[in-house]
Chain A
Amino acid sequence: MTSAPAALSVENLCVEFRTRSGIVRALDKVSFSVAKGETVALVGESGSGKSVTAYAVMGILDPAGRVTGGRAMLGGLDLLSANQSQLAKVRGRKMAMIFQSPRTALNPIRQVGRQIADVLIRHGDVTRKAAPAAAIEMLRAVGITDPVRRAKTYPFEMSGGMCQRVMIAIALAAKPSLLIADEPTTGLDVTTQAVIMDLISDLAEKLGMATIFITHDLALAGQRAARIVVMHAGHVVEAAPTRELCANARHPYTAELIAATPDSATSLDALASIPGSLPDLRRTDLPPCRYSERCPRKTERCAQPLPVGPPDAAHTIACWNPLPARAIGAPKVNAA
């Protein structure tokens, strides 16, 4: 990966959900790491396990979910085996999360200034007395005009973009070293999306935060992240630096995903759809490669366990039959 020490490294994370109709193997051996000051995007369709990964790392999985294996190291602490009081100490202080749909994530009956002050008092070593003023400062830092007045408003009085700014202020109140942004701009306009993403990257840079950016929009990820981790049905199928991935996608799924993104196409007919759908993760006979049933490049080798490459390779591909690398700057391939 990168030479900087990893702020968060997730290794072989497995998560299961118990449901009435069987056990859903939501994540299977998910590994990736984020260096200090780096932005990594987790990209995939809905149901690919992006959010579950974030929830597992934050320790806020649904009670039906269970981590069945793996490690997630954040500065010497394994988040997956840590107990609740250890987790409570790092959550908010060392890692924070920006949730989807800010309007529902914020407390609807508490003024936003107070919500920020709450976090500052709990995690930011700010006294009760100084908290309101510090909250106003936070609002100013996330670019809200007239923060003194805005601190006294409720979430429903604000636009979606403003609510998202408040969420960011709450997440960054204690200057965490890791920020997880779970689809921070879904439901916002493109113009607002650009401004919010600018804000997140600026603050991340200023505070030297590692950022995990979860999105289904490959184009947005390509624009904002240094590295992209592509997920499909609970597997990491490909991980590479952004440029490398865009120019030289080698996993068939990544290639299909790029071909389906409307931004790159010149006409509607040039867009390719991905045949099939996600496999049912409750099945007990899931093939080792969960994409193999949709895959046009399937071979007999695909029935064998997926290739595991060296964890420090820049470009990892979980595929037995990847697309050929382009000649220039060919990546180190661990699945040959």
Chain B
Amino acid sequence: MVQKPWFKIFIWFLATFFFFLASGVIISLLKPGPSESEVMQYMSGMMGAMESSIMGVMMGMESNQLLQNFFLLTLILFPIIVIFSLIIGFVLRRKNSEVKNDQ
């Protein structure tokens, strides 16, 4: 699988992409401060995202009762899950070490 040509091309693409990202980040960090047009584009783009994207939907969360109830549910479930996972973790640990001692 790893030796197939199309897969090699895919891996090369991903590696190049990550290198591009890294150099893009370095360029962005070190380049001279944002020009006015960049700032304007940034502001208007953010406003656009707030109006017509998921960001905007999340901004309107306060008016969504269903989602709020869902958050409440996860908040209530969270400590229960933590306690359960603590118990499961220690039980598993003990069980696995016993199996190892038997061998």
Judge: A and B partners, yes or no: no
